[in-house]
Amino acid sequence: MVLPAKCRLVVFSGAVENTLQEVCVGISERYEINYIEIGADENHVHFLVQSVPVMSPSDVVRITKSITARETFKKHPELRKLLWGGHVWRSGYYINSVGQYANEKIIQAYVEGQGRKYKRIHRGQMWLFEGME
């Protein structure tokens, strides 16, 4: 899942990245969403996410965008001047799923290879579901 910042502004500093990581860990504890890897470039964030099959990809995006935006503005009120209108994220997003032609390692390599200033800000573990390959 790739979420660009509003107007592609450079907003993901070290402090904002730390907040983003903390918030995503909190989301994982409350929802059935597992953030396997989070990587930030200056103006967008890549998420390698795992969730339960009954949760749609658009639900994962909606939950991630809404909670991270709210908590980021709470902890970094100075961003409200830069990101007018109360939105951290652009309205769109990119999402792809792991399946027959793209496994976790391929997607992870893609995420790691993005951007000139890409840096990993979170690395989690895959969930193991019993009865699933």
Residue 46 near residue 132, CB atoms below 8 Å: no
**How many domains does the chain fold into?**
1
Taking residue 95's Cβ as centre, other Cβ atoms within 10 Å add up to 13
Position with higher pLDDT, 63 vs 133? 63
Whole-number mean pLDDT of the chain? 81
With respect to residue 48, please indicate whether it lies within any of the assigned structural domains.
yes
Which pLDDT band holds residue 132 (cuts at 50, 70, 90)?
very low
Using the structure block, give the residue that is written with the tokens 């795992």.
Answer: 50
With respect to residue 128, please indicate whether it lies within any of the assigned structural domains.
no
Identify the domain containing residue 116 by its residue range: 2-123
With respect to residue 64, please indicate whether it lies within any of the assigned structural domains.
yes
Does residue 131 surpass a pLDDT of 50?
no
**How long is the chain?**
133
With respect to residue 74, please indicate whether it lies within any of the assigned structural domains.
yes
pLDDT of residue 61: 95
With respect to residue 129, please indicate whether it lies within any of the assigned structural domains.
no
With respect to residue 29, please indicate whether it lies within any of the assigned structural domains.
yes
Position with higher pLDDT, 13 vs 114? 13
CA proximity to 11, closest of 81, 111, 112: 81
Q: What are 2's strand-pairing partners?
A: 46, 94
Using CA atoms, how far apart are residues 89 and 52, in angstroms rounded to an integer? 24
pLDDT of residue 127: 61
CATH number at residue 96: 3.30.70.1290
Position with higher pLDDT, 120 vs 63? 63
